[in-house]
Amino acid sequence: MFNTETYVGRRAELKKLVKSGIIVLFGNNSSPANFPNNGYYPFRQDSTFLYYFGQNHDGLVGVIDIDNDKETLIGDDISIDDIVWYGSVDSVHDMAQQVGVANSAPMKALKTICNEALRQKRKIHFLPPYRADIKIQIFDLLGIHPNQQKESASMELIKAVVKMRNIKTDEEIEELERAAVLGYKMHTTAMKMCRPGVTEKEIAGTLAGIANSYGAMVSFPTILSQHGEIQHGTPSEAPLVAGKLMLCDCGAETINNYCSDNTRTTPVSGHFDQRQLEIYSIVEACHDYAASVAKPGVKWWDVHFGVCRLMTEKLKELGLMKGDTDEAVAAGAHAMFMVHGLGHMMGMDVHDMESLDQINVGFDEEVRPNLEQFGTNCLRLGRRLEKGFVVTDEPGIYFIPALIDDWKASGHCKEFINFDKLETYKDFGGIRIEDDLLITDDGCRFIGKDIIPYHPKDVEEFIANN
């Protein structure tokens, strides 16, 4: 945890932003893997609960009564049976004291608090739940059916949480730097292991072990595949094959639950062939362009489409695209090659606050998402950047056989895509380069003291020396 004053200050600011009513922040309960006493490990607390109440223990709820300036940590103390099997933990009272909360109460008190607030017709603020057990608990407490809870969640609370969590403080940046150290170890290990005959699962398992060995965990299930065209390709038992590319998208999460998220694409043979180098160099140029223009006041929407135009220009040079660049990008032709957005907010969640809906996190009243156009509908961030934002810079180029066939059959964007040449790339796979950017006073910098090699010569040299 951070120091007590951090959590006291965060809750004080939250009360100012929300202004009135009762805030109820649900922590997570332990989740069974396949039966009640065989739980998933390690336990993962809800990030917003952690942000304001700091306690990484299951079965807790934080209540902030704004009007009466009263804060309460709700939860049941463990029994002697729990101690026998799992060991002793602090009492709920002690946990409350550790984060500057004056009051504590057993879980049954939450029903009394909610009933009294409902009787007085006071506003009860809660966030959109994402776990079934919490949805049932909200139904029991407030009588709101799970199907209606997302719409019933407090927009005042959502906006307040987003406003606060989007801006990373110095102590949060220190945690993100620690996550980057682990991410560096994971990615450089994957590059060292990238040899013909080694299986995808062996490498991915080793990466998870690195995170676990430092008391952390992976920040999301590792994406590692020779089929880089599959956006969330899970590691298989397939051995790596000479001449292929291995795409590895992984990250670590620190003990205090701050994340790293990087992607590297490594040639299994140890060097890029000419065709791979041509495509890789385009992705490299797009990655570096984004980092060169990202700064406070710049709309990430504009950075994204600047990357799309640059990518289109360079694909035209290879004969894969054609026609007017601006018209091609407006038509979404570039999405044949980059089906996702340029990046997303990052922090305690690798897709930060995704449970609050990306339209609330990555967009605002000025910049609204385009949910209709293929590719652009996957852009998770468009708003103007601010100092303290942490965003991912992750352009990619993918050759997806099914998508090629689909667009070719329908004639979609045929005036901008050379389908005959594209046919010869169906066996290519995909390339992505991703790093985490901290927006600074007048620009941005990479999170992480040591940059994972990504320039082609650096990648080949690293492999040769390891």
Digit-coded pLDDT (tens) for 16-63: 999 999 999 999 999 988 888 787 878 899 999 999 999 999 999 999
Sign of the Cα pseudo-torsion (115, 116, 121, 126, in order): negative
CA 34 vs CA 37, 86, 233, 234, 373: distances in Å: 9, 19, 24, 21, 40
The kind and range of the H/E element at 245 are: strand 245-250
Digit-coded pLDDT (tens) for 314-369: 999 999 999 999 999 999 999 999 999 999 999 999 999 999 999 999 999 999 99
What pLDDT sits at residue 254?
Answer: 94
Please give the mean pLDDT across all residues of the chain.
Answer: 96
Digit-coded pLDDT (tens) for 136-180: 999 999 999 999 999 999 999 999 999 999 999 999 999 999 999
**DSSP reduced 3-state for 26:** strand
| pLDDT confidence band for 78 (50 / 70 / 90) | confident
Q: Is the pLDDT of residue 125 over 90?
A: yes
What pLDDT sits at residue 360?
Answer: 96
Cβ–Cβ < 8 Å for 433, 398: no
Q: Which of 432, 436, 342 is nearest to 396 (CA)?
A: 432
CA 56 vs CA 35, 90, 434: distances in Å: 22, 11, 29
Q: Is the pLDDT of residue 420 over 80?
A: yes
User: Which residue bears the tokens 């080949």?
Assistant: 460
Alpha helices, H only, 120-254: 132-142, 149-152, 155-166, 170-193, 200-213
What pLDDT sits at residue 88?
Answer: 83
What pLDDT sits at residue 279?
Answer: 98
Cβ of 3: how many Cβ atoms within 10 Å?
A: 13
DSSP per-residue string spanning 282-302: HHHHHHHHHHHH--TT-BHHH
Count, residues in the chain: 466
